[in-house]
Amino acid sequence: MFEPTESYAKRLDEQDEFASYKQEFYINDDQIYMDGNSLGLMSKRAEKTLLDVMEAWKTLGIDGWTKGEHPWFYLSESLGAKMANLVGAKAEEVVVTGSTTTNLHQLVSTFFKPEGMRTKILADELNFPSDIYAIKSQLQLHGLDPNEHLVRVKSRDGRTLQEDDIIEAMTDDIALIILPTVLYRSGQLLDIERITKAAREKGIPIGWDGCHSVGVIPHHFHDVGADFAYWCHYKYVNSGPGGVAGLFVHKRHFGIEPGLAGWFGSDKQKQFDMEHVFTPAEQAGAFQIGTPHVFSVAPLIGSLELFEEAGIKAIRQTSLHRTAYLMYLVNEYLDDFGFEIGNPKEDERRGGHVCLEHPEAASICKALKDRQITPDFRSPNVIRLAPVAFYVSYHDIYQTVMAIKDIMEQECYKQYKNERDVIA
């Protein structure tokens, strides 16, 4: 399928329909950026829309809430409608708001209703820590001991989860299920449709953390019947550090009272009535809490233009081809150096990054950074490499693998401490 030569990598780039998008992003000519699964690069369009919104503040003042090209009062809902295609939702089911963890708190507050023997939340032992922190604190707010009422599905291999194990854990005492679409270390993509169907058959509300999939994998949250989902935009969607997050609530739940009420969750026509009786919006906008972080959301306006042009299906196919090529080169050139590919090989089970495991992972990452190649380290032994469709070329992938090969052959990694920096 592939060839191991540099000339072949360059030939793939000549045929690549995404090649022209790289010039849309700020990246130095001598830099290779393989960390888009942690923080995406700035696009020129994101920069422009941020400046546009700042200009509106400068020229319109308070009238920017209702006037200008992007009125701030409606921005969360209008961007939610534009996001809907990326997550497979109705326009009214998505709103851009809050942070990932704030949105999780909101959604658990809304959908976790312990009653009778159903008092437990089902998660997994490989989930990102912030989700577990939030779930534990929500249980404690209900007077429940997380050691007893948080159930975490065990991994059989320390890398992945088995859907059978998840479904088996859906016992009669489970009141809510929270799972990641893609595991943040190994990059495993769970069978969202199968798991959601099983949860619905058992009458258990289920929500999905899409942080490591939204923007690189097409979703169908509405059609599969997920109760809710939440995600960030600063990874694959390239909205910038601290970019405002997003959430989905299935329309069958419209009208439900949000667990955490706030002024901006009001019906827009009644919000400025200033009544002390909360009248929630009839759509996903009800789950907003505070005032939109206008400057933090502004880059998303420009970033989404790129997704509208490229299409999430084409992005997914390109991502799969790039990750397959990366794994091929790893097997060709790094087989003798103790590396293991920790992510699933099958297309339908793989997210947008490759999980490369090695005992010296932290020091190898430091050696790569000194060569102007940006990887991502996750404790204890994972190098995450994300060949993002928009700005990582096939030649970039080839050069990255050859750099790792040289680092191992020359034992350059031994110059560095094999431990993470403050931020890994």
Task: Tell me if 250 is assigned to a ligand binding site.
Answer: no
Would you list the DSSP string of 179-212? EESB-TTT-BBP-HHHHHHHHHHTT--EEEE-TT
Residue 212 is assigned to a ligand binding site: yes
Confirm or deny that 131 is annotated as ligand binding.
Answer: yes
Which pairing describes strands 174-180 and 120-124: parallel, antiparallel, or unpaired? parallel
Where b means 16+ CB within 10 Å and e means fewer, 294-308 reads bebbbbbbbbbbbbe
Alpha carbon distance 160, 156 (integer Å): 7
- Residue 100 annotated in ligand binding: yes
101 is in an annotated binding site: yes
Tell me whether residue 209 is annotated as binding.
yes
Annotated binding-site residue? 234 = yes
Does the annotation flag 279 for ligand binding? Answer: no
Can the peptide bond before residue 4 be classed as cis, meaning omega within 30 degrees of 0?
no
φ, ψ of residue 351 in degrees (nearest 5)? -85, -145
Residues in Cβ contact with 399 at an 8 Å cutoff, skipping those fewer than 6 apart: 32, 373
Do residues 352 and 323 make contact, with C-beta atoms less than 8 angstroms apart? Answer: yes
Q: Tokens 């990102």 — which residue?
A: 128
CA atoms of 409 and 205, how far apart (whole Å): 51
Tell whether 145 is in a known binding site: no
CA atoms within 13 A on the CB side of 295: 5
Q: Which of 87, 54, 117, 89 is nearest to 294 (CA)?
A: 54
- Is 396 marked as binding a ligand? no
The reply, when asked if residue 263 is annotated as ligand binding, is: yes
> Following CA atoms 58, 63, 64, 70 in sequence, which dihedral angle do they give, to the nearest 10 degrees?
-140
- Known binding positions for pyridoxal 5'-phosphate: 100-101, 128-131, 209, 212, 234, 263, 291
